[in-house]
Amino acid sequence: MEEKLIGMVRDVCASDVEITRDTNLTFDLGLKSIDLLELVTDVEDEFGIEVTDEAVENIHTVGELIDYIKSQS
């Protein structure tokens, strides 16, 4: 699941930066609001979960997103 998510993040950000659990979605990858919306939509579709607005506000790193997905599965 982690590798799949990292691939999804890589697709959205189109960056050559190494992506780890500690990678910050906005600061390290430069994702804007529209990019985050696309990523959240992809995550919801791929993993069959709902990512609430509150969760989006509290998710800053790839690791936090992974942990959220695991908690919803």
- Token duo for residue 24: 């910050």
Q: What local confidence, expressed as pLDDT, does residue 16 receive? A: 81
Q: Give pLDDT tens digits for 12-31.
A: 987 788 999 999 999 999 99
Exposed (0-12), middle (13-18) or buried (19+): which is 71, by Cβ within 10 Å? Answer: exposed
Q: What is the pLDDT of residue 53?
A: 92
Domain that holds residue 67: 2-72
Q: How far is it, in rounded angstroms, from Cα 31 to Cα 15?
A: 10
Type of residue at 21: R
| Total number of domains constituting the chain | 1
Q: Give Rg (Cα) of the chain.
A: 11
Whichever domain contains 65, its CATH number is: 1.10.1200.10
pTM: 0.91
